[in-house]
Amino acid sequence: MTEFDIHAYLEQHRGKDLLRFITCGSVDDGKSTLIGRLLFDTQQVFEDQLAAVERDSRKYGTTGDAPDLALLVDGLQAEREQGITIDVAYRYFTTESRKFIIADTPGHEQYTRNMVTGASTARAAVVLVDATRGMQVQTRRHSYLVHLLGIEQVLVAVNKMDAVDHDRATFEAIERDYEDFARQLGIAHYRCVPVSALTGANVTRPSESMTWYDGPSVLEWLESVPAGGGDDSRRPMRFPVQYVNRSRSDFRGFCGQLAGGCVAPGDPVVVLPSGRRSEVAEVLLHGRAVDRGVAGQSLTLTLADEIDVSRGDMLVHAEQLPRVGDCFDARVVWMHDRPMLPGRQYDMKLAATELPATPEAIHHRIDVNTLEHQPAEQLALNEIGHCRIRTGRALAFDAYHSQPGSGAFILVDRVSNLTVGAGMIVRPVTDALTDKSENVTWHRQSVDKRSRAAQKAQRPAVLWFTGLSGAGKSTVANALEQALFQRGHHSYLLDGDNVRHGLNRDLGFTDEDRVENIRRIGEVARLMADAGLVVLSAFISPFRADRALVRELMEDGEFIEIHVDAPLEVCESRDPKGLYAKARAGVIRNFTGIDSPYEAPEEPEIVVDTAELSVDECVEELLAYLKRRGILIG
C-alpha cells in the first residue's frame, strides 16, 4: 500500500455509517459460530486471538482439529467452561461500507431480559434457525421480542444447511413457516437466508453448494438495511434536557441528545411539562454553531428567552406536541428475581426525567412463546406484562413505536438501586379510562379461545374497517360478512349506530366520550374474539390513537386494520345519509373530513380502494387476504 492508498482508505472509512444489530439464537443453533465466522471472514481476528482460540479449542472445543470459531466470542471464563453465553456481549467489525456493532445475547427463555437489553439499541436482528430442527418455540419468542423492541429489519438465518445436504425444500419449508408467523405478528421486513456458519456458506460469500439460492448473503443484507438516521430525523422533534451548561456567566445552554426530528435556529419550541414557549436561538454541536441538528446528535441549544428549563424537561417543536400526563399503559419486561407487584413504588427514568412511578394494574401477561394474553397478579423475572403505570408527577412522553427516545423507560428499585424493569409506552391513559374494577379478576376458562376458534375452522380476528363517511365501510363489511356466512364461518358485525343505541347510549360526542365509545367497542370486540369469532366493525374511527388503543387490547396479529379508501370528493358525491350536505351547511359540527380531521392509517394491514373496485371485488380481495393470513382455514 502506498501513502496515496491509505489516504483514500481514510476518506472512505470516514464516510461509513454504523449499524447495531442483535443476534438471537442458542448455542445449539450455531450462533457463536456465525458471529465468529463474520469476524473471521471480515478479518477482525488477530493472530494472537486465533492462537488463544486454538489453545482453547483443544481444551473446550467441539470442532476437532479446526479452530472452534465460537470460542472467539464466548467471553467469560465460567461461560466458556459451561459452553453457554450468559450475558450480553458486544462485538465489532467493519467492512468497506459500514461499521457494525453486534449485541450477542443468549437464547434461552431464562435470559429474556438479556435479549431485551441487547435488542434495545439494535436496528436489525439476525434470528437463527437450525435447519435440522426447523422453527422452534424459541424462534417465535426471539421474533416476538425483536418485534416488541421495535426492530423492523429481521434476517432469518437458516443455519446448518450443510447438515441437511443443502436441501432447497428443507429451506423453503422453514421459509413458509416463518412467513405465516411473521404475518401473524406483523413483521413487515424480513428475509430468510440459507447458511452454514461452519463452512461460511452465504455468511459473507455465496455458496457453491446452494446455487439455487440467489438472494443476499448475511453480510450483504447487513450492509444494505437502513441504519436508522433518516427515520429518526423524520419524527417529531424531541430534545430531552440532560444537563444545563451555565459554565460562563453569559451563557446558558441546554445539553442533550436529540431523540427525534431535527432542530434549527428560529424553531418555535415548548418546554414540557411546564408549557413555557420560546424559540431556538443557537444550535451548538460541541461548541460550534450549526444550521441544523439531526436525531442522534448530542447538542447544546440556547433559547431566545430566559425561561426556566432544567434537567428532565423536554424541548419539543411547538407544532408537534407529545402527550403530557401522569398515567399510561406500557409493556413492561421484568428483570429482577423479586417480582413486580402492582402498588409498589419504583423510580422511573424516561429520557432524562427521573421520577417515582407505580404500576397500578397488570392488564395481562404476554406468554412469550404462544403470545397468549394471560391474567396476572405480578410479573416475575423475564415476564412481560401490559401494565398501567402512574407517575408521581406529569411528564412528557410518546408511544414507544412512534418515538422510542421518549417512549422507553427503566424502573429502578428504590432501595437496592438496581434496574429491575424496562418499559415501552403504548398509550396515554386519561381519567375516563381509569380502571374502576381493580378487584375483579379475569377468569380462566377451561374451553379456551383457540379451541372455540378451531371448532369454527378459523382464527379469531377483529377486522376494523376505517375510512371517511361514505367510503363504503358498512357496505363492504356487510358484503364480507355475507360471504363469510355462506362459507360457514362464524362472524359478527358491530355497527356503530346500533352500539350507540344500546351499550353506549350514555355517551355523547365530547372527546372523552368518543374515547370511551371506542374503548367499549374494543372491549366488546375482544370478548367476541375470545369467543372465537371473526368480528367486523365499521366505524369512521378517525384518530390513529383510538385505533391503536383497540389494537392494543387484542393479541398480536388479531387486529386487522382495513382502510376503506376513497377520495373525499367521491365520498361527498355519494353522501348516502346526506351528512356532507349538512356539514357543509354548518348544521353538523366536527364532521370528519370537513371540519374535523381524518388520520389515515399509516400501516394498515390492507387497503381497499372503493373508488376503483366494485363491492364484490373488495370482498374477493379481503377473502384472499384472510386466507393468506390463516384466519380462514380451508
Partner 1 sequence: MSTDADCRLTHLEALEAESVHIIREVAATAQRPVMLYSIGKDSAVMLHLARKAFAPGRLPFSLLNIDTTWKFQEVYAFRDRVAAEDDIELITHRNVEGLEQGINPIDHSPGVHTDVLKTQALKQALTRYRVDAAFGGARRDEERSRAKERVFSFRDRHHRWDPKNQRPELWNLYNGRVADGESIRVFPLSNWTELDVWQYIHLENIPVPSLYFADERPVVDRNGMLIVVDDDRLPLEPGETPRMERVRFRTLGCYPLTGAIRSEAATLPDIIHEMLVARSSERQGRAIDHDAASSMEQKKQQGYF
The residues in 368-407 that bind partner 1, with binding defined as CB under 8 A, are 404-405
Cell of 516: 370511551
Which amino acid, 138? Answer: Q
16 binds partner 1 (CB under 8 A): yes
Instruction: Report the residue number, 246 or 589, with the smaller CB distance to partner 1.
Output: 246
The residue annotated as part of the active site, out of 120, 541, 573, 614, is 541
Min CB(374)–partner 1 separation in Å: 24
| 348-359: b (≥16 Cβ within 10 Å) or e | bbbbbbbbebbb
In the set 54, 83, 84, 94, which binds partner 1 (CB under 8 A)? Answer: 94
Taking the least distance from each CB to partner 1, the nearer of 337 and 603 is: 337
The window from 132-140, 279-287, 374-382, 516-524 that contacts partner 1 (CB under 8 A) reads 279-287
Assess whether the previous peptide bond of 273 is cis (omega < 30° from 0).
Answer: yes
Indicate the residue type of 415.
V
Q: Which of 463, 523, 479, 521 is nearest to 497 (CA)?
A: 521
CA angle 522, 524, 530 (to 5 degrees): 100
Residues 98-127 that bind partner 1 (CB under 8 A): 98-99, 101, 113-114, 116-117, 120-121
Residues found in the chain: 634
Q: Judge whether 158 and 171 are in contact, CB under 8 Å.
A: yes
Question: Kind of pairing, strands 262-263 and 268-272?
Answer: unpaired
Q: Which residues, 6+ apart, have CB-to-CB distance to 366 below 8 Å?
A: 331, 372, 373, 374, 384, 385, 386
Cell 413487515, residue located? 188
Residue from 276, 277, 311, 582 touching partner 1 (CB under 8 A): that is 311
Give the CA radius of gyration of the chain.
27
- Separation between Cα atoms, residue 313 and residue 309, nearest integer Å: 7
Residue of the chain from 158, 198, 303, 412 that contacts partner 1 (CB under 8 A): 412
Q: List the one residue from 64, 287, 343, 578 that touches partner 1 (CB under 8 A).
A: 287
Q: In sequence order, which residues have a C-beta less than 8 Å from that of residue 382 and are 6 or more positions away?
A: 109, 110, 111, 112, 113, 333, 334, 335
Smallest gap from Cβ 286 to partner 1, in A, equals: 4
* Closer Cβ to partner 1, 10 or 447, answer by number: 10
User: Look-up: residue for cell 478479518?
Assistant: 43
Among 284, 340, 368, 518, binds partner 1 (CB under 8 A): 284
CB 193 → partner 1: shortest distance, Å?
24
CB 373 within 8 A of CB 555: yes
Per-residue mark of binding to partner 1, 416-445 (x: CB under 8 A): -xxx--x-----------------------
196 in catalytic set? no
Nearer to partner 1, 286 or 436 (CB): 286
- How many chain residues touch partner 1 (CB under 8 A)? 87
Q: Is 100 left (phi over 0), alpha (psi -120 to 50) or beta?
A: beta
Angstrom distance (rounded) from CA 475 to CA 481: 10
Backbone phi and psi for residue 416, each to the nearest 5 degrees, phi listed first: -85, -10
Nearest distance from C-beta of residue 399 to partner 1, angstroms: 15
CB 426 within 8 A of CB 551: no
631 binds partner 1 per the rule CB under 8 A: no
The residue range among 10-18, 364-372, 439-447, 519-527 that interacts with partner 1, by the rule CB under 8 A, is: 10-18
Piece in contact with partner 1 (CB under 8 A), picked from 245-253, 553-561, 596-604, 612-620: 245-253
Say which amino acid occupies 50: L
**Piece in contact with partner 1 (CB under 8 A), picked from 87-95, 268-276, 431-439, 557-565:** 87-95
Q: Which of 145, 219, 255, 476 binds partner 1 (CB under 8 A)?
A: 255
Q: Kindly tell me which of 117 and 474 has the beta carbon lying closer to partner 1.
A: 117
44-63: which residues touch partner 1 (CB under 8 A)?
46-49, 52, 55-56
- Euclidean distance between CA atoms 283 and 267, whole angstroms: 10
Q: Which of residues 326-365 bind partner 1 (CB under 8 A)?
A: 335, 349-352
Interacting span for partner 1 (CB under 8 A) from 198-206, 225-233, 370-378, 572-580? 225-233
Q: Select from 93-101, 190-198, 437-445, 508-516 the region that touches partner 1 (CB under 8 A).
A: 93-101
Give the nearer residue to partner 1 in terms of CB position, either 76 or 137.
76
Given candidates 64, 65, 78, 208, which one binds partner 1 under the rule CB under 8 A? 78
142 contributes a contact to partner 1 by CB under 8 A: no
Q: Cell 418455540 maps to which residue?
A: 137
Sign of CA dihedral 525, 529, 532, 534: positive
Among 165, 214, 286, 443, which residue interacts with partner 1 (rule: CB under 8 A)? 286
Residues known to be catalytic: 541
